[in-house]
């Protein structure tokens, strides 16, 4: 006979779980409404993305005028990279930001700098990223001298 307040179904369920989980294991199953769900604060690290330029490897690079020179790299952040920005001084060039959707923890980029007819010029390139929480990272910079 079931205990007072317990249904036979609840008693069978408890017995079945005891066999499945072993002795000494207690399982509590509860239901909650949407308003009762736990919420956790945003786990942002408060640090902006790290931006790395892989090519060229040095801060000052001299190249020959001619075809496009592609600067490659990546922006990394555990909160997700929301936007990567490219600032170009010299060379009369501009590039739109990259906005992955949804934000990714690593965003790779390639910036094709035009060098044709630019002999004797220097191009300053600054690349930085903002994470999904709005934290801006330090910029990565390169100076490209065209001979």
Q: Does the pTM of the predicted model rise above 0.75? A: no
- Least confident range from 41-50, 71-80, 96-105, 124-133: namely 41-50
Mean pLDDT score, 20-25: 45
Residue 45 has a pLDDT of 75
Residues contacting 118, CB < 8 A, separation 6+? 65, 91, 146
The residue extents of the domains of the chain are: 50-146
Decide if pLDDT at 85 tops 80: yes
50-146 maps to CATH 2.60.120.200: no
**Closest Cα to residue 54, out of 69, 68, 71, 67?**
71
**Closest Cα to residue 61, out of 1, 145, 125, 138?**
145
């Amino acid at each position: 006979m079931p205990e007072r307040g317990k249904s036979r179904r609840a008693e069978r369920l408890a017995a079945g779980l005891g066999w499945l989980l072993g002795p000494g294991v207690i399982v509590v199953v509860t239901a909650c409404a949407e308003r009762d769900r736990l919420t956790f604060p945003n786990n942002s690290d408060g640090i902006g993305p790290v931006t790395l330029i892989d090519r060229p490897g040095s801060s000052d690079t001299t190249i020959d005028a001619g075809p496009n020179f592609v600067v490659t790299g990546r922006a990394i952040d555990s909160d997700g990279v929301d936007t990567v920005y490219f600032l170009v001084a010299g060379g009369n060039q501009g590039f739109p930001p990259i906005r992955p959707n949804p934000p990714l923890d690593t965003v790779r980029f390639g910036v094709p700098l035009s060098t044709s007819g630019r002999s004797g010029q220097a191009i300053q390139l600054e690349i930085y990223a903002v994470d999904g929480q709005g934290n801006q990272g330090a910029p990565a910079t390169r100076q490209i001298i065209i001979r």
